[in-house]
């Protein structure tokens, strides 16, 4: 009985989203993930392996 009450209230709280909303959330998550990886690569520990092409070609 108590489980049925919880199940019914949970189904009212979690309603199916439109496909456009799911698409926007997915695109946003991908953009945030790519940005995070780029910042980690540029400023984190992997940045020690990056080379500066302008320092390699001095005039």
pLDDT tens for each residue of 29-49: 999 999 999 999 989 888 888
pLDDT for the residue 5: 62
Read off the pTM.
Answer: 0.60
CB–CB of 28/34 below 8 Å?
A: no
Over residues 1-20, mean pLDDT: 69
Token code pair at residue 11: 């189904």
**Alpha carbon distance 2, 6 (integer Å):** 6
Sorting pLDDT into bands at 50, 70 and 90, what band is 1? Answer: low
Question: Residue 40's CB: how many other CB atoms inside 10 A?
Answer: 12
CB–CB of 40/46 below 8 Å?
A: yes
């Amino acid at each position: 009985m108590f489980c049925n009450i919880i199940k019914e209230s949970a189904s009212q709280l979690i309603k199916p989203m439109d496909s456009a909303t799911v698409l926007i959330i997915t695109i946003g998550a991908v953009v945030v993930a790519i940005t995070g990886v780029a910042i980690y690569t540029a400023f984190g520990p992997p940045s020690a392996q990056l080379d500066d092409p302008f320092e390699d070609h001095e005039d």
